[in-house]
Amino acid sequence: MRDDNGPIPLKVVVAGGFGVGKTTLVRALSEIPPLLTEEPLTAASVGVDDIAAVPGKNTTTVAMDFGRITVDDALILYLFGTPGQDRFWFMWDELARGSVGAVVLVDLRRVEDCFPAVDYCENRQLPFVVALNDFPGTTGFSAETVREALALAPDVPVVRMDARSDGSCLATIIALVEHALERTTVAG
């Protein structure tokens, strides 16, 4: 029988490049009003933050996004969304510390933007899934094509998702937790 000290907390990191949908995913899933540290894009970001692929974007995360999902009486997931720009990467170690793993969001119109997040997870042996966010014009790429392009290990799950859909986001989080548990079982 389980010692009833409350639910087990699991920390999940949501990472990826600028404008790939990290804040949208946290918003879609969080059962509480999410903590968002979005600030308006300013003239100082011109030439630094490429908004060509996301023309309606007028804010950016400058610290983190935070949300919570109560799975049941025994499990709570805490979501930590990272900022996407490289000038904020110094915060990733703190956000990832103690996490069960990461969701690396990918916009297939700008695949190169996910390389730092993939490298981060691989270098720290942090379990992760690659989530192909459903942006217009990106459905023609198979998961295997993306796996090869990113040179992912065969055991890294690649999933399609829509960050605006809570069901799609939840399926991605479940894939991550199952992957992390599988890695723990194999290692243990």
Q: Which of 33-42, 77-86, 135-144 has the highest mean pLDDT?
A: 77-86
Beta strands 59-72 and 75-81 are: antiparallel
What ranges do the domains of the chain cover? 8-187
DSSP category for residue 54: -
Which of 82, 65, 92, 100 minimizes the C-alpha distance to 174? 100
Q: Which of 1-15, 37-51, 134-148 has the highest mean pLDDT?
A: 134-148
Q: Which two tokens stand for residue 61?
A: 């995360």
What is the tens place of the pLDDT at every residue in 36-73? 877 776 665 655 566 666 667 666 676 789 999 998 89
Angle at 179 between CA 117 and CA 109, to 5 degrees: 40
Q: What class is the 8-187 domain?
A: alpha beta
pLDDT bucket at 1, cuts 50 / 70 / 90: very low
SS3 132: strand
DSSP category for residue 118: H
What is the tens place of the pLDDT at every residue in 11-28? 999 999 888 999 999 999
- The mean predicted confidence, pLDDT, of the chain is 86
pTM of the entire structure? Answer: 0.86
